[in-house]
Amino acid sequence: MPLCTIFLASLTRELATHLTGARIDKVNQPNPQEVVLQVRTHRGNERLLLSANSQSARVAFTESTRENPAQPPMFCMSLRKHLTNSRILGVRQLGCERALEIEVLSHDELGVEGHKKIVCEMMGRNSNVILVGTDGRILDCLKKVDAEMSEKRQVLPGLFYHLPPVQEKLPLDRVESLTLKAGEKRLADQILDEISGIAPLVAREIAHRATGNVDGVALPESEEAEKAEVEVLRMKESFLGGDGVPTLLTDPKTGNPKDFTFFTPRQYEGVYEMRRMASFSELLEEYFAGRDAANAQSQKTLELRRTVDRVRERLVRKMAAQEKELEETGKRETYREMADILGAFSYQIPRGVNSVTLPNLYAEEGGEITIPLLEKLTPQQNIRRYYKEYSKLKNAETILLTQLEEGEKELAYLDSVREEIGRAATQRDIAEIREELTMGGYLKGKKEQKKKNSNKKTAIKPLIFEAPSGKMVLVGRNHLENDRLTLQTAGKTDLWFHVKHIPGSHVVLFLEGEEATDEDILFAASLAAYHSSGKAENKVAVDYTTIRNVKKPNGARPGMVIYERYRTVMAEPKLPGGAV
């Protein structure tokens, strides 16, 4: 359910209870669409999330930790300047809008006291976090909106803050009755058309309670219309009182969150389980936690994925052109045959003609062949021209086969990088993949900065697991780590694992001079299968061999190795407990 105004009223009341009088200690901006305030409330130190994500805009307390960038964004620096050590005076909803205002008391550089406001607009793709000064002007905003982006409303520093233009509907707080029109239009749709601040789920619930069906129709002055009006007024009272009940709707089979609301909906009885949560913040945290993590990681790796996809697409087009050229080289034998025939009958070829018909020495059934000539060349020059074209195509075939082989290797490498990006879990993982792509020439790097920071950078560590026998198993997180793990960390007699023919991590089972048990081998193979592009399969073929059989060819890209004298085991991709 979208964060409708009725839900927001209850959420605002809850936040006001705990935030009024609280002090803002720190401000962080973990990603371009979220701000986290470290606040000291009467309950202790807490984190308040201000999200302008189009899919999950909200203001709520959160217990989730978010990784912050090494360099804070400019908006974060602006918020720190104005909000650090400020005191929250109150929290209120702005009219019947999906907007919430946090008023704070802060001091400027000269110690002058002033009231500022943090306005959080939760309106889908137009969601925003805006800092407003004492005079009502915008000091800064998370998303800047200029005249080219919107003619009706600009959101820029220096402009006075105004709420978005109101819809041509009746605000919920001013509803006194429900006016319906005759026709076959659904009751839920009529409510949505007439009243602002009501979400589709709420409108369907009103229709269900009035007609017994979410798609029900109610005629004017009918019993269903009267019931619908009662339900609308009841929702209005819930809005004005902020007395909603935080309710999470979950799939009864999987327990996964499916929707949320501020009441117990009857339309989903027997479909979803209704869980009453302890607070609205806990409700939103439970519903959005997994989605936020996936969206945040997707945003962080977007540039890398686009780079790899762009290079891969260009490489595929290049290889397609090379294959077409390679197909053309198949004609070289025809050029050699025509040169041989011209040489055999050169005495019969007159000068200055554009073609000649001669006996075909290479046709089993005999016959003749017409050979095109260049009029300005002598017969001997035409013969040399055909031999030269033959040699050119023969050399081209050798070069093209080499290029296509290198292209296949690069394509496999790019696919493995794409899979590696999908497994990146932290900023450090992403930074190391970025470094790898920069080293490979796929991304432009700042050489001076790289030299300056080279001594400070610490390589990420592989994932560590404990095998059934107690032996250690390490899993590389990316290509650079795979190289370090396989070529530097592991011993010659340790066992090396990798999925067969598809991208994946290097996995090493450290034997410490002992023999590997079947359980240990299957354990390590399962980890290799899980940390690969075959993760979603039921069973994956995994090759394993001793480290001494694994070699890195000269000039090979990061993470690319060859191996021999190996065995193969079918393993189920799974992540056992015990990660460190």
pTM over 0.75: no
Q: Are 479 and 460 in contact (CB under 8 A)?
A: no
pLDDT tens-place string over residues 166-176: 888 899 999 99
Please tell me the predicted confidence (pLDDT) of residue 206: 95
**Tokens of residue 525, six digits:** 């193979």
Residue that wins the pLDDT comparison between 538 and 293: 538
Cα separation, 217 vs 180, whole angstroms: 10
DSSP assignment letter at 504: B
Q: By percentage, how much of the chain surpasses pLDDT 70?
A: 95
Please tell me the predicted confidence (pLDDT) of residue 16: 96
Q: How confident is the model at residue 448 (pLDDT cuts 50, 70, 90)?
A: very low
User: Mean per-residue pLDDT for 243-262?
Assistant: 90
3-class DSSP assignment, residue 22: coil
- C-alpha closest to that of 2 among 178, 192, 255: 192
User: Mean per-residue pLDDT for 53-58?
Assistant: 89
Q: How confident is the model at residue 523 (pLDDT cuts 50, 70, 90)?
A: very high
Q: How confident is the model at residue 513 (pLDDT cuts 50, 70, 90)?
A: confident
Q: Which residue has the tokens 């999470």?
A: 248
Say yes or no to pLDDT of 451 above 50: no
- C-alpha closest to that of 17 among 80, 61, 83, 63: 61
pLDDT tens-place string over residues 139-186: 999 999 998 888 889 999 999 999 988 888 899 999 999 888 888 899
Question: What number of CA atoms fall less than 13 Å from residue 563's CA on the CB side?
Answer: 26
Cα separation, 409 vs 397, whole angstroms: 18
Please tell me the predicted confidence (pLDDT) of residue 31: 87
Cα separation, 506 vs 494, whole angstroms: 12
Say yes or no to pLDDT of 580 above 50: no
pLDDT tens-place string over residues 322-343: 999 999 898 899 999 999 999 9
Cα separation, 526 vs 253, whole angstroms: 27
Please tell me the predicted confidence (pLDDT) of residue 450: 44
Say yes or no to pLDDT of 447 above 60: no
Average pLDDT of every residue of the chain? 90
Residue that wins the pLDDT comparison between 437 and 544: 544
Cα separation, 410 vs 313, whole angstroms: 12
pLDDT tens-place string over residues 170-227: 999 999 998 888 888 999 999 999 998 889 999 999 999 999 999 999 888 899 999 9
Say yes or no to pLDDT of 59 above 80: yes
Least confident of 56-60, 252-256, 492-496: 252-256
Please tell me the predicted confidence (pLDDT) of residue 409: 87
Q: How confident is the model at residue 446 (pLDDT cuts 50, 70, 90)?
A: low
Q: How far, in Å, are 25, 160, 305, 452, 490 from residue 529 at the CA level?
A: 45, 57, 22, 38, 20
Least confident of 58-72, 248-262, 457-471: 457-471
Cα separation, 350 vs 373, whole angstroms: 11
Q: Are 249 and 265 in contact (CB under 8 A)?
A: yes
Cα separation, 213 vs 225, whole angstroms: 13
Q: How far, in Å, are 234, 280, 374, 425 from residue 149 at the CA level?
A: 39, 34, 63, 34
Say yes or no to pLDDT of 293 above 70: no
Start-to-end CA distance of the chain, whole Å, equals 38
Q: Are 209 and 227 in contact (CB under 8 A)?
A: yes
Q: By percentage, how much of the chain surpasses pLDDT 90?
A: 67
Cα separation, 70 vs 269, whole angstroms: 48
Length of the chain measured in residues: 580
Q: How confident is the model at residue 294 (pLDDT cuts 50, 70, 90)?
A: low
Please tell me the predicted confidence (pLDDT) of residue 292: 66
